[in-house]
Amino acid sequence: MYTSNWKLPEYVAQTAVSIDDDKCLHSNDTARVYYTEECLPCGTDKKDYCKFDEEKGYLWLGVYPNNKCDKSERKDNQKMYKCEVCQVNGIAGVKCFCTKGTTSDSESAGYLNTISTMAIALFGIFSFFF
């Protein structure tokens, strides 16, 4: 098994997906996706930069012209999820927890590679929308 010595970055929010639950009753015992505060390249040509932020009770994906991700230069801001509310899309319920934090060593030890892969895949998916 591959192990890594690096830790997950700070995160601005996390989502829990319950495939069989339209009320998100199982949000505490599902896999989670963590949204980092990092300013990362995105878009089909990788000329824009994206950063997740929590503002006014929502998780937003901001698009910026450079790697500073300064809010005064934001080109676009897409509302992703309402915080602390179960949102149903088809048969899946998604609950977004907009709480900044870091994962502890015990949390990240077994899930570090999985979460990192999910975060990379998530940014890859979003890059097709820009």
For residue 120, the one-letter residue type is: I
Burial of 81 (0-12, 13-18, 19+ CB in 10 A): buried
pLDDT in tens, 93-129: 888 999 887 755 444 434 444 444 455 555 555 555 5
Is pTM beyond 0.95? Reply is: no
What would the pLDDT profile of 17-76 be if each residue is shown by its tens digit? Answer: 777 667 788 777 888 888 988 999 998 889 999 999 999 999 999 999 999 999 999 999
